[in-house]
Amino acid sequence: MNLNQRISLFVKLGTHFKEYLENLSNKKKYKLLNKAIDNSIAQNSFFTRESINLSLLVWSKNLSRESINNFILNYNFKTSQIKKKVAIIMAGNIPLVGFHDFFCVILSGNFAEIKHSSKDSYLLRYILNFLSKQDKNFSNSFHICDKILVDFDAVIATGNNISANQFDIYFKKKPRIIRRNRHSVALLDGNETEKEIELLGKDIFSYYGLGCRNVSKIFIPVNYDLNLLFKSFIYFKEVINKNAYANNYDYYRAIYLLNKDNFYDNGFVLLKESKKIGSPVATIFFEYYKSVEDVFKIINKNSSKIQCLVSNLNYQNNMKFGETQHPGLSDYADNVDTIDFLLKLN
């Protein structure tokens, strides 16, 4: 398939997602997709139909022809190239978290050797089947590996810090992108509106806080009223009804009580003062500051651990409230340009 054919194929997928979301009541027409969603929810204790639909919404927008055409303007795609076999080791923390890597590998004209997560396999397999039905040649562009990866030219692997270190050692002789744990932070100055704090709640609670784009740490000025946060977060109280989330809430609440740590509790999320960047599920760390410049120094020092900065204050590539879970095609994980990496393999 040439580049235009690959683009057209992904546009069909985006249109499919869009039409599904516009016709959620039509269970019969989207029987196979609904089955994949139900299986995914059974497979991953943190997945819900709402969170999966959010992921499909993001991809329905990103896979429009306009979006993809604007995306490829930044690159020089070769008309003829040697197809490289790129191994993709996917995470499974949020729905379709590894799809962007797959999209990049296929769009760049390479072959995807897929090692999907055991916690998120049904949605990806549905997509592969859908694309293969649209173009019979597509099945020659990928393979799902159920065993140990042995035959590949490059690798894109995502995991926690421990597994990432192992990936670095295991794949040291191959061109590679290795992704580690990352978290997102918010910087408040006290002038935010109630609506903006509510939108911050989306950045925190979407996907139950499991993504690298989820805010897990909030920097607040000295004397900031934490009740302002709790007041707006109440819109997300339903998260506690998810057993996997509630188990984390109960566990860390018990740990903090046993350790006699100071924390704030509103019945579904814990606020705890900490210098750390990444917080556990159902906990949000916060840190007081006297000077914004001090926060900027902390952010720079921990840049390798931070994916997004949410703030009204202009600093680097900060994001507005409520936008972290709607990344565009150019919003690469770890800020590593995957397409550039793939095009340089030839």
- Residue 333 covered by a domain: no
- Flag whether 327 is in a domain: no
Assess whether 123 and 259 both reside in one domain.
Answer: no
175/218 same-domain check: no
Two tokens, residue 273 = 């003062």
Do 176 and 190 share a domain, yes or no?
A: no
The verdict on 276 and 192 lying in the same domain is yes
Residue 285: inside a domain:
yes
Boundary-marking domain end, from 145, 166, 181: 181
Contact 83, 109 (CB under 8 A): yes
Domain limit, last residue, from 141, 158, 181: 181
Residues 6+ apart with CB under 8 A from 125: 36, 116, 144
Residues 147 and 221 in one domain: no
CATH classification of the domain holding 50: 3.40.605.10
Q: Same domain, yes or no, for 155 and 273?
A: no
pLDDT tier, 315 (very low <50, low <70, confident <90, very high otherwise): confident
Considering the domain architecture, whether residues 151 and 43 belong to the same structural domain is answered as yes
pLDDT for 173-205, tens place per residue?
999 999 999 999 999 999 999 999 999 999 999
For the cut 80, the answer to whether the pLDDT of residue 293 exceeds it is yes
Instruction: Give residue-wise pLDDT tens across range 41-69.
Output: 999 999 999 999 999 999 999 999 999 99
Mean pLDDT of 123-132: 98
Kindly tell me if the per-residue pLDDT of 311 is higher than 90: yes
Query: Are 173 and 190 contained in the same domain?
Result: no
- Domain tally for the chain? 2
Pair 30, 167 in one domain: yes
Percent of the chain beyond pLDDT 90? 91
Rounded mean pLDDT, 299-312:
95
- What φ, ψ does residue 144 adopt, rounded to 5°? -95, 120
Regarding pTM above 0.75, the answer is: yes
Whether pLDDT at 123 is above 80: yes
Identify how many contiguous H helices and E strands the chain contains and give both numbers. 12, 11
Q: Residue 340 domain-assigned? A: no
In terms of domains, do 29 and 12 share one?
Answer: yes
Query: Looking at residue 148, what is its pLDDT?
Result: 82
- Determine the structural domain holding residue 144 and report its residue range: 3-181
CA 287 to chain centre: 24
Pairing relationship of beta strands 154-158 and 176-179 according to DSSP bridges: parallel
pLDDT of 80 reads 66
Q: Both 77 and 221 in a single domain?
A: no
- Taking CA atoms, 5 is separated from 85, 133, 138, in Å, by 19, 14, 10
Q: Is residue 120 part of a domain?
A: yes
Q: What is the mean pLDDT of the chain?
A: 95
Residues 188 and 127 in one domain: no
